[in-house]
Structures are given as structure tokens and as C-alpha cells.
Structure 1
Amino acid sequence: MTRPRTVTDDDLLDRIDRALSNRSTAGPWTLHEVAPAAGISPAGLIKRFGSKADLLHALARRWTDLVPSAPSGSRPADELRAYVSAEFGAPSAGAAIFALDELLTDLRTPESIALLREGWDKQTRYLEQLLTAMPLPRLADPRRGALLLLDALHGSLYRQGIDLDAAPPTDTLDQLLEAWT
């Protein structure tokens, strides 16, 4: 008879996500590295998720689920700024490189690509809705604006990773908003 689970998969994914986000080094991570933060053994992670790849897929699905489907109804500019800061602000150059490395890893398998496409599409629709709700007279196509914003924010992660005039992602956002007003 198996013991009942005392920690949900969502709780484990939260802990693992936090551990990965707080890494100060670039490069591949291991189950042995994140297991202590999750409060479970590496074997327990395998039993729970199947493999490291399946754990990554679970993290990607969780990220997609956490992307808002629509604006909250607060001030769109404030909501956009908070979202950009939370989703694209890396605490260090090492964390930025790690995030980019994980992104490249996501592009190695068809399932990962499909999960990334789904997440980015949802993120683009959310950003598009926020941009549509803002007075931006020079932004002719909010969808294209949302895609441009995503491209620019990912570029700012690259710049932060190599410490080339690194600036917070909200600076990138401000420059685009200024161009659209």
C-alpha cells in the first residue's frame, strides 16, 4: 500500500521553479540539485513525474496555466508593467543565462516546442489585450505589438546574460510604449 501524498504536484512544481529561478550559475541542472528544495528525493521526483523531461513539461504546462487569460480589470499599464517585471526580470546575469538555456532546451523536442508555442500564444493574447486597452495611438496592430514586445523582452534577457548595457525589462517596455504614444 502506498503512502498518501502530503505535498501536491503544484507545491512541488512551485518549489522546483523557485529553486531553478534562484540559481546563480548557468548550465544544466540535475534532479539531485532541485530535489532538496522540493523536499523529495531525486527518485521521488522520477516516480512523481516520470523523467527530467517530463518534469520540464510539467513546469511548462504550469507556466502556461499561470499566464492570465485576460486583464484583471485594473489599470492596464500598471498590470502590464507588473507582468513584464515578474516574468522577464532575472535576479542576475547567471539567472538570465539559465533562463535562456532552458528556452533553448525547450526547442529540442516536438512536445516541448508545442508547449512553448501554446504558452507564448497565450502570453501574446494576454499582452495584446493589455496593449489594446491602453491609449497607444501609434500602435496600429496590437497583436504585432505584443509579439514585438515579447521579442524585445527576450532580447533584454540576452543582454542581461552577457551584461551588455543590462537594464530592467520595464525599461524595454517603456521604450516601446513611448514609441507607440
Structure 2
Amino acid sequence: MTRPRTVNDEDLLDRIDRALSSRRTSGTWTLQEVAPAAGISPAGLIKRFGSKADLLHALARRWIDLVPSSPTEQEPEEELRAYVSAEFEAPSAGAAIFALEELLADLRTPESNSLLREGWDKQARYLGQLLSAMRLPRLVDPPRGALLLLDALHGSLYRRGVDLRPSPPTDTLDQLMEAWT
């Protein structure tokens, strides 16, 4: 008889995501590294998710699910600033490099690439809706502006990775907003 699960998959994914997000070093991570944060053994992670790749896919699916589908009742600019800050801030150069390494790994396999494309598409639609609601006078095409914003935010993450005058992602947003008003 198997024991009942004491922690559901969403809680495990939250714990693993927090552990990976707080990493201060670059380089490959292991199941042994994240298992303590998840409160489960590496073997338990394999039993739950199948493999490290399947765990990464579950984390990607969770990220996609957490991207809002539409703006809330909050002021669009406040919501945009909060989202940009939460999603694109890297606590250190090592954390930024780690995030970029994971991105490159996601581009290597068709399934991960597809999940990344789906997530970025959802992010672009959401950001485009926020930009559209802000009615910025010089932003003619909010969906294209959303893609430019994503490109700029990823670029600021690269700069953070090499400590080239790193700045918060909201500074990148502010510069674009200034150009669009």
C-alpha cells in the first residue's frame, strides 16, 4: 500500500521554483540540489515527475499558467510595473546567468521550445493588453510594443548577467514608456 501524498504537485513546484529563483550561482542544477527545498528526496521527484526534463516541463507549464490572461481591475501602469518587477528582476549576476542558461536549455528541445513559445506568446498578449489600456500617444501598435518590451527586458537580464551597468527591469520599462508618451 502506498502512502498518501502529503504535498501536492503545485506546492512542490512552488518550492522548487523558489529554490531555483534564489540561486546565486550559474551552472547546471541537480535534483539533489532542489530536493531539500522541495521537502522530498531526489528519487521522490523522479517518481512524481518522471525525469528532470519532465520536472522542467512541469515548471514551464506552471509558469505559463501563472501568466495572466488579461489585466485585472488595477491601474494598467501599476499592474505592468508590478509584473515587470516580479518577472524580470534577478537578485544577482549569478541568478541572471542561471536564468539565461535555463533559457538556452529550453531552446534545445522541441517540447521545451514549444512551451517557451507558448509562454512568451501569452506574456506578449498580456503585456499588449496592458499597453493598449494605457493609451500611450506614441505607441501605435501595442502588440508590437509588447514584443519590444519583452526583448528589452531580456536584454536587461543579459546586462545583469555580466554586471554591465545593471538596472532594475522597471528602469527599462520607464525608458520605453518615456519614448511612447
TM-score over 0.5 for the pair: yes
Q: Which residue of 2 aligns with 1:136?
A: 136
Query: Deviation digits for residues 65-105 of structure 1, max 9, x if unmatched?
Result: 00000000210000000000000001111101101110001
Instruction: Please tell me the residue identity of whatever aligns with 2:106.
Output: D
Partner of 1:160: 160
Q: How does 1:32-181 map to 2 (within 5 A)?
A: 32-181=32-181
Q: Quick one: distance in 1 between partners of 2:151 and 2:89?
A: 15
What SS does the corresponding residue of 1:35 show, helix, strand or coil?
Answer: helix
Alpha-carbon distance between aligned partners in 1 of 2:94 and 2:55, rounded to the nearest angstrom: 22
Alignment TM-score, normalising by the size of structure 2: 0.99
Question: What SS does structure 2 have at the residue aligned with 1:117?
Answer: helix
CA distance in 1, matches of 2:172, 2:31: 34
Listed as ranges, the gaps of 5+ residues in structure 1 are: none
Tell me, in whole angstroms, the C-alpha distance in 2 between the residues paired with 1:30 and 1:133: 42
CA distance in 2 between counterparts of 1:87 and 1:72 reads: 17
Structure-1 separation of matches of 2:56 and 2:20 = 11
The Cα of 1:135 is off from its aligned counterpart by 2.7
Secondary structure at the counterpart of residue 133 of structure 1: helix
The CA deviation string for residues 112-136 of structure 1, in whole angstroms up to 9 with x for no partner, is 0110011001000000000000031
Give, in whole Å, the separation in 2 of the partners of 1:33 and 1:140.
47
What TM-score do you get using the length of structure 1 for normalisation? Answer: 0.99
| Gapped regions of structure 2 (runs ≥ 5) | none
Partners of 1:135 and 1:45 lie apart in 2 by 46
| Identical pairs, percent | 82
**RMSD of aligned alpha carbons:** 0.5
Aligned equivalent of 1:19: 19
Runs of 4+ in 1 over 2 A off after TM superposition: none
Q: Distance in 1 between matches of 2:90 and 2:160?
A: 8
Once residues 121 and 135 of structure 1 are traced to their aligned partners in structure 2, the CA distance between those partners, rounded to angstroms, is: 21
SS in 1 for 2:134: coil
Count of residue pairs the alignment pairs up: 181
